Amino acid sequence: MVIYLLELSLSLFVLGAISGLVLEYKSVIRLSSAFATLASLSLIALIVEAYGHLPIKGEILGTPIMIDGLSLVFLTIIGVVGLADAIYTFNYMDKYEKLGKAWVFALAYNAFLASMVLIVTTSHLVWFVFWWEIMTFSSFVLVVWDEKDSLWAGVEYYITMHLASTLPLLLAMAIGYSVVGSFDGMGFSDVAAHIGTLSPGLVKLLYASFLLAFMAKAGVVPLHFWLPPAHSSAPSDVSTLLSGVMIKMAVYGLVRTTFFILKPTVTFGYLVAMLGVVTLVVGTLYALKQTNAKRLLAYHSVGQMGYIWLGVGIGITLIGNSNSTLAFIGALGLTAGLFHALNHALFKGSLFLSAGAIEYASGTKDLNRLSGLYKLMPWTGIFALFASLGISGVPLFNGFVSKWMIYEAGYYSKNFWFVLGALFALLISAVTLASFVKFYNSAFGGEPNELTSKAKEVPGSMLIGQGILSLLCLVIGVFPAIALAIATLPVGKGVITTGVLGLSFHSIYFSPVLMAIVFGVIFVAFLLLLPPKAKETAKPWDCGSTLFPEATYRLRASDYYRPYEKRISAFYALGGFFGDLGSEVINRTIAAYVWVGKYFVRTAEIPWVTVKDVDDLRDGMTLHLDDALIMPVVRFVKVVGILSKAAVLLVLIIVAAVLAALIW
Amino acid sequence: MNSTIFLLSFLIPLALGLIEFKLDKKKADIVMLISALSSLALTSYGLAVFLGNRGIYHLVYIHSQGLGEVFGFVVDTMSVLMAFIVSLTALLILLYAIDYMSPTNKLNPVESGKGTFYGWMLILEGAVLGFLFSSSLLSFLVFAEVIAIATWGVIRYYKTPNARQAANKAFGFINLSMLFGLLLVVVFGLVKYHDTSLYALGQLSSKATLWVFLGVMLTAITMSSQFPLYSWLPDSTEAPVPASAFIHSIGAVEAGLFMMVRIVQFMNGIPKTAYYVIALLVVITQVMSIFYYPLQKDAKRLLAYSTIAQVGIMYVALLGAILGSAGGLQASVYQLFNHSLVKSLAFLVAGTFGFSFGTFDMKKIKGLRWILPGAAVGWFLALLGLAGVPPMGLFLSKANVIMTGTMAVRGASWIEWIPVLLVLVDATIFFMVAVLWMKSMLFGEPSYEKGKISPLMYAVLIVLIVVMTVSPFLTLHLTESIRFIGG
């Protein structure tokens, strides 16, 4: 039944992919989104059906399939975010109608979702990499959709992925094959069973390859540079899938390969956790200074990925510990990481959809220019608020629960580095809140200005898309048991005890429901005792001058935290230094290439032209080594004037030699 | 196994090819279609029969006391599958040529003389098909000579000075390599053993094995345009585009590799010296093509260097086979199949640039997706396919080459790792070049008026895209039956 539902879902994605045959733009978009919606629904049905019957093994298209707890966590992410996103896409893509190519969208969009479903369900290393590549390929097509600003971002993304994700994965696959020796024997468990025969050097290479590949995909510092440009220049429904789902595939890959192919080792765990801490600090502090709504969200994706890696890293380090309390803390950390991945998918997905709605309605994503949208788009405003509270880790919203579990895992690990990491995570959570105060206030707060006054609430389908994800942030925040039922699957249910009222672990108890009641009572009491005064609005006082437009008196997004940004300018300078270093390395590599390349091209015929970049070399004639050796002889023969005769002679010699041999 | 099917499949194109020289226009089209279609029908029927009762069939037609096996067939998975792919690709290329070789072609309008072109093409197809089934070095030599002559014929078709020079170069290089390679080996075989059958290769002494291997290798790598005699292939892009598509995807280049696979399949205990010689040449070729890719602005020449490297990858897989892994043989042949389809698509798409804009200069083409959407899609898929992006088949075959290669060299010294790792580097550099060209070519303000290609050309491109996406999954498990035969 579960395999049947998986097949149903994949077939629906295939139908969606070929709905481009309908030809008319809007029909194609509607049809492909409808199929993607149905496919996501059948994924959700699959999760319900599979729950309690794990693991499930089967086969699809001749490739082995295994659905276990870990798969189910990520299938939930794909199913829920895919559902919301596909509904949102019904109307959102109308924005791009003049570009045509609806069939490409249908194909790439459905292939993108389907490939991720297959990534988390396949149990074969080669097919894992195959679907992984399909995912990168189709996401690239979607990222460069608008063919303008996104082009360079997309190319940067694709090349980075090829260098830092595809190459290591291929290498890992090759090492895996070298121990099993057959294509069919490349199942995760088969490779894991033979890994002992590898030399220590190759095992280290295997760890490094997987780590690099998943770092690049997850946008973990220092391989995060591709993420903000790509996520912010893609269409918003695509950004949602990139940030909400695709980068989670890296977390899946990390956990799957570490626990099911390799062995979780302490060193590797430390590495993962520390990368997480660095990433959460760098990503969030950079997010703080962004003024482009989608870029801000994209940098937060980097930051939140750091939280997930910290949780998973603690899990990898401690889960095998002989001390049962520490092993328990490891399991808690891993669960917290996976739970946070799920939560991040919800709130970040919702936020990107809201950012898309803002751009759809007002035509800009520049927070400096936006204002007062709440009055015009109340629903989008509410949904964005819930999701913002979710990502900021405010209690009663989902982000709080998982972040809190990560902090707890860090504290109780009794390990200096993890405690430090958890402290950083806590501090950075405040920065996240600050950043979203800015985000929310700039876009939704205040009065509408000239730019936004014409904005209207977005079509119903886009609201439903945002609503699903955003309300889930609240629901899971109040009843975490719903999501924890899935998030605890990979490590077993013993880690966290959940009830309707709340959750408990390690002698800690937290009840969001009771908290909601207590705070609700307090809130109502305040409302009754101190009723709010009617709001007064006043125009800014401009000292009588009429030269300056009113908008300039506003606190703009870039002004919010200017003093703080100045205070940590050394940090940004360091980031800038590494950025420059990266570009310098690339430039030097190209220069070195040009230096060698000059010997492959006849440049002497272009006098007074200094060859600076590769393009200058393309106009010259390409030189060949064998020409240099043989052409002098040919020219000599030509001068003598017997070239055609020489050719005939050559054939004659061959024929004669054969004949001679025959006669012998 | 009834081998008359295969005998006819290459005799028909050879015979009708000769007739073509006397024909032109519509009549030429019809005869070409009859030939290509019947060839495809025969090879597909042969494939169906073969899949029904698989095995390795050795049939000797002409055998004499003094010359041993003169003419015979080896019918096995490799030759039957390859023959099918050759005749399928040839048919598609020739269908495309019907409209490409026409007065509406902007760059090279063809008013008359189509018959001559078809004639050379059909002879080339027939020679390649015959080459595939050959069971002796002598018949390899004969068919290779026919391939060389037909290649010369198609390359010089436009009769421009460049085309003539390129044709002479191709012919000269291949013959030069035969003079010092295959021919010497054949003469040596006939004089010393009175036999050049592949089945005799297994019994050679270790010293003779080395020399025979190196001799055949010299011819094979020249046909495959590997270092040291490689430059004839980029120059050969002076040929009409369908001819280039043929040469690069199923012509002399692949024939050379095929012969090498056969040798490795039949030989016993190939000395390590042979391994190092061929590894050195392949490594030099790979490094060179890494430097050549970014320097090209001519679409066809970029594809030519990619052919050199892709065939180089097949040789890398073969290195694994020389070290004793049957997986290397399979990976090599699998890569050959996939490359044929992707490369012919790439050339046929490049042909549409010349056809509708009159240029192959990639710098000049902008906004392709607005002015020739079909070609834009084809170019996108073909270039990424060559770089090894799935779902195009070269992903799986390159993965296979790397996997079997790693398995063969695991535990060996670092020197043996170099060719395997170079496959990854090469694919990456090509990938970057391809993505950057696509960025500038596909998008932005169009640089030409809206282009137009005929429905038939569109149909061929679509069929090729479908075939190249589907075939890797069909051939993956079929190639697994390829094994060592000798000994």
ipTM tops 0.85: yes
Mean pLDDT of B76-81: 92
Residues of A (595-654) whose Cβ lies below 8 Å from B = 596-597, 600-601, 614-615, 617-619, 622, 624-627, 629-630, 634, 643, 647, 650-651, 653-654
- Are A597 and B291 a contacting pair at CB < 8 A? yes
Q: How far is B26 from chain A (nearest CA, A)?
A: 34
> Which of B172, B407, B424 lies at the smallest CB-CB distance from A647?
B172
* A322 DSSP assignment: S
Is residue B385 pLDDT above 90, yes or no?
A: yes
CA-based nearest residue to B307, from B241, B379, B230: B230
Residues forming beta bridges with residue A504, ordered by sequence position? A497, A509
Q: What percent of chain B has pLDDT over 90?
A: 70
Mean pLDDT of B290-319: 93
Burial class (CB in 10 A: 0-12, 13-18, 19+), A61: exposed
Angle between helices A293-318 and A398-412 (to 10 degrees): 40
pLDDT at position A642 is: 63
Average pLDDT, chain A: 90
- Are B391 and A147 a contacting pair at CB < 8 A? no
The token duo for B487 is 């000994």
The token duo for A608 is 């007074």
Query: pTM here?
Result: 0.94
Q: What is the pLDDT of residues A16-36, one digit of tens each?
A: 999 988 879 999 999 999 999
- Residue B63: its H or E element: strand B57-64
Mean pLDDT of A489-508: 78
pLDDT at position A361 is: 92
Q: How far is B291 from chain A (nearest CA, A)?
A: 6
> Which of B190, B389, B404 lies at the smallest CB-CB distance from A661?
B190
Residues B270 and B330: beta-carbon distance below 8 Å: no
- Quickly state the pLDDT bin for A630 (edges 50, 70, 90): confident
Query: What's the CA gap between A505 and A501, in Å, rounded?
Result: 14
Q: How far is B103 from chain A (nearest CA, A)?
A: 30
Residues 6+ apart with CB under 8 A from B71: B60, B61, B62, B135, B136, B138, B139
Q: Which residue from B minimizes the CA distance to A158?
A: B435
Q: Which amino acid is at A86?
A: A
CA-based nearest residue to A333, from A348, A349, A353, A318: A318
Is residue A534 pLDDT above 80, yes or no?
A: no
Mean pLDDT of B314-321: 93
- Are A650 and B172 a contacting pair at CB < 8 A? yes
B190 versus B346: which is more confidently predicted? B346
Q: Which residue from A minimizes the CA distance to B331?
A: A183
Q: How far is A94 from chain B (nearest CA, A)?
A: 19
Query: What's the CA gap between B43 and B40, in Å, rounded?
Result: 5
Phi, psi angles (nearest 5°) of residue A608? 65, 10
Is residue A658 pLDDT above 70, yes or no?
A: yes
Is residue B410 pLDDT above 90, yes or no?
A: no
Q: What is the pLDDT of residues A275-287, one digit of tens each?
A: 999 999 999 999 9
Residues of B (100-139) whose Cβ lies below 8 Å from A = 138
A14 in contact with chain B, both atoms CB, cutoff 8 A: no
CA-based nearest residue to A109, from A227, A240, A213: A240
A162 in contact with chain B, both atoms CB, cutoff 8 A: yes
Q: What is the pLDDT of residues A637-653, one digit of tens each?
A: 777 766 667 777 777 88
Q: What percent of chain B has pLDDT over 70?
A: 99
Strands A63-67 and A497-498 come out as: unpaired
- Are A147 and B231 a contacting pair at CB < 8 A? no
Is residue A139 pLDDT above 80, yes or no?
A: yes
Query: What's the CA gap between A603 and A363, in Å, rounded?
Result: 49
Query: What's the CA gap between A639 and A631, in Å, rounded?
Result: 12
pLDDT at position A607 is: 60
Q: What is the pLDDT of residues B211-229, one digit of tens each?
A: 999 999 999 999 999 988 9
- Pick the residue of A118, A166, A195 with the most B CBs within 10 A to test the interface with B by mutation: A166
Phi, psi angles (nearest 5°) of residue A594? -60, -40
Q: What is the pLDDT of residues A369-387, one digit of tens each?
A: 888 899 999 999 999 999 9
B381 in contact with chain A, both atoms CB, cutoff 8 A: no
pLDDT at position B395 is: 92
pLDDT at position A248 is: 96
> In which residue are the tokens 């006043």 written?
A538
Least confident of A289-293, A315-319, A624-628, B46-50: A624-628
Strands B57-64 and B68-75 come out as: antiparallel
Q: What is the pLDDT of residues B88-121, one digit of tens each?
A: 999 999 999 999 999 999 988 988 889 999 999 9
Is residue A46 pLDDT above 70, yes or no?
A: yes
The token duo for B434 is 């391809």
Q: Which residue from B minimizes the CA distance to A132?
A: B390
- Quickly state the pLDDT bin for A118 (edges 50, 70, 90): very high
Is residue A542 pLDDT above 80, yes or no?
A: no
Q: What is the pLDDT of residues A338-367, one digit of tens each?
A: 999 999 999 999 999 999 999 999 989 999
Mean pLDDT of A434-454: 89
Average pLDDT, chain B: 91
- Are B294 and A614 a contacting pair at CB < 8 A? yes
Q: Which residues of chain B does A159 touch, with a Cβ-Cβ cutoff of 8 Å?
A: 431-432, 435
Least confident of A389-393, A536-540, B72-76, B231-235: A536-540
The token duo for A293 is 């709504």
- Quickly state the pLDDT bin for A546 (edges 50, 70, 90): low
pLDDT at position A569 is: 92
- Quickly state the pLDDT bin for B393 (edges 50, 70, 90): confident
Q: What is the pLDDT of residues A396-421, one digit of tens each?
A: 899 999 999 999 999 998 889 999 99
> Which of B168, B327, B400 lies at the smallest CB-CB distance from A647?
B168
HSE, side-chain direction, 13 A CA sphere, residue A225:
16
pLDDT at position A62 is: 84
pLDDT at position B81 is: 93
pLDDT at position A641 is: 65
The token duo for B387 is 């770089």
> In which residue are the tokens 């051939």 written?
B475
Residues of A (502-541) whose Cβ lies below 8 Å from B = none
Q: Which residue from B minimizes the CA distance to A184?
A: B477
pLDDT at position A53 is: 87
pLDDT at position A269 is: 95
Query: What's the CA gap between A386 and A478, in Å, rounded?
Result: 12
